[in-house]
């Protein structure tokens, strides 16, 4: 009799634990979607087709039309978007604006050595392409992308128009590493 009671208690306990774990897993799954995917109006992903973001199973989180164009296909921690005024910036999952993204020719800055240029209050800095976090606070008037572990930057520069391009001029260029420290 004692054996049967112990066995019965063990079975009931196992059942209760397994039910609790599956409910917890389902709740955790509902709470945290690991990423969103870009969706857009129309048949093709053209810049003229308004975009938004949805869960991988199709639940719309950010409706199409909210942004003029979405540059980020897989939205994990941040996404780069453009509004109808051609303002290009990064947003977090709550759609808070993190910073403006540096604009080159006809698109947002390209990733170089894991970083891309950002703009805040008219100054240039760098953010991580992996996380979107600011790695080097915006503080430079002009800054080139990283190459071979360093970026050429300056606190003082002027713009010179050369046909359709703008050239940066400065007498005080220097190099920084990926922590923003001056390289001698």
Quickly list H helices, the chain: 2-31
pTM of the model: 0.78
**Helix or strand or coil: residue 148?**
coil
What's the gap between Cα 134 and its chain centre?
Answer: 10
Residue 44 is predicted with a pLDDT of: 65
Q: Residue 79 has what pLDDT?
A: 97
| pLDDT value at residue 165 | 80
How far CA 68 is from CA of 40, 77, 95, 99, in Å, comes to 10, 20, 14, 17
Structure tokens at 101: 């993204």
180: left (phi over 0), alpha (psi -120 to 50) or beta: left
User: Cβ(41)–Cβ(64) under 8 Å?
Assistant: yes
* Full pLDDT tens readout for the chain, 184 residues: 444 444 334 343 344 444 444 444 444 444 466 999 999 887 666 666 788 999 999 999 999 989 988 999 999 999 999 998 989 999 999 999 999 999 998 889 999 999 999 999 999 999 999 999 999 999 999 999 999 999 999 999 998 988 888 899 999 999 999 999 999 8
């Amino acid at each position: 009799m004692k054996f049967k009671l112990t066995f019965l208690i063990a079975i009931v306990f196992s059942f209760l634990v397994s039910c609790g774990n599956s409910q917890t897993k389902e709740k955790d799954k509902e709470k945290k979607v690991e990423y969103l995917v870009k969706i857009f109006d129309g048949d093709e992903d053209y810049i003229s087709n308004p975009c938004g973001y949805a869960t991988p199973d199709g639940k719309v989180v950010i409706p199409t039309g909210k942004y003029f164009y979405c540059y980020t296909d897989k939205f994990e921690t941040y996404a780069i978007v453009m509004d109808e005024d051609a303002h290009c910036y990064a947003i977090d999952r709550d759609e808070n604006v993190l910073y403006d993204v540096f604009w080159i020719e006809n698109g947002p800055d390209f990733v170089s050595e894991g970083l891309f240029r950002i703009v805040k209050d008219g100054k240039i800095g760098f953010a991580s392409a992996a996380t979107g976090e600011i790695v080097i606070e915006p503080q430079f008037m002009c800054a080139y992308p990283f190459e071979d572990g360093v970026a050429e930057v300056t606190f003082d520069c002027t713009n010179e128009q050369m046909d359709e391009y703008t050239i940066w001029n400065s007498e005080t260029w220097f190099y920084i590493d990926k922590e923003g420290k001056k390289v001698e």
